[in-house]
Amino acid sequence: MKRLLPKMLLAPTLLALAACASTATQTPRASTPADTTKKPAATTAATSSPTMPAEDVTKYRPVFAAPKAAPVSAVAPIKTAVAPTNHVNAQVEQRLRDQAYTNQNVKYTQGYRILVYLGLERDQVMAIRRNIIGRYPDETDYITFKSPVYRLYIGDYVTKLDAARGMARLRGLTPKLELEATQVLLNKNP
């Protein structure tokens, strides 16, 4: 172990010296001062690319024929709109009625609720609930209790965008807000 330690310290030192040796300063080259004299504009444009000769590239450009003019005597026929006739037949109408009846019986859907409070204090959950309902009476609230934890949920939002808007309204009223995906009650107008 004692013999291995100096070799371990020696390897990085040798690598550092080799790196320094490869990047040693080289002898400075004699440099000529930059030409700062003003040249005439005609010569600078012509000599801006002395290696590329001026070449005529017009032979490579595409040429298109002029569009043919329509004869004046040829008038486009006027298309008349055909009035639709009975689009919904009896079968389609019956299916639409069946679907409407089925939709009336749907009470729940997948949506979002805002978790406003999660804790052990019943008084605190009730105070937060009163504060939110006092400010937004149209919001629905749900308090759940699974010993010893109280949870306060606000709202029945079908889309995430609506839930985000609800969170923005409640932002200053509570210290912590979370969005939870859950089954929500659809508001049905009788």
Residue of higher predicted confidence among 35 and 130: 130
CB within 8 A of 130, min separation 6: which ones?
Answer: none
Confidence bin at 89 (pLDDT 50/70/90) = confident
Rg (CA), the chain: 41
Q: Within 13 Å of residue 38, how many CA atoms lie on the same side as its CB?
A: 2
Q: For 25-47, what is the mean pLDDT?
A: 57
Alpha helix (H) residue ranges in the chain: 4-22, 41-46, 90-104, 122-135, 160-170
C-alpha to C-alpha distance for 116 and 175, rounded to whole angstroms: 8
Confidence bin at 7 (pLDDT 50/70/90) = low
**What is the phi/psi pair of residue 57, to 5°?**
-105, 10
C-alpha to C-alpha distance for 115 and 170, rounded to whole angstroms: 11
Closest CA to 114 of 181, 175, 26: 181
**Strand order across the beta sheet in which 178-185 lies:** 141-146, 149-157, 108-119, 178-185
The 10 Å Cβ neighbour count of residue 115 is 17
pLDDT of residue 1: 52
Q: For 3-14, what is the mean pLDDT?
A: 64
**What is the phi/psi pair of residue 28, to 5°?**
-70, 140
pLDDT of residue 20: 64
pLDDT of residue 35: 65
Confidence bin at 66 (pLDDT 50/70/90) = confident
C-alpha to C-alpha distance for 158 and 69, rounded to whole angstroms: 58
pLDDT over 70, % of the chain: 66
Q: Is the pLDDT of residue 2 over 90?
A: no
Q: For 74-102, what is the mean pLDDT?
A: 79
Confidence bin at 6 (pLDDT 50/70/90) = low
User: Average pLDDT of the chain?
Assistant: 79
pLDDT in tens, 125-159: 999 999 999 999 999 999 999 989 999 999 999 99
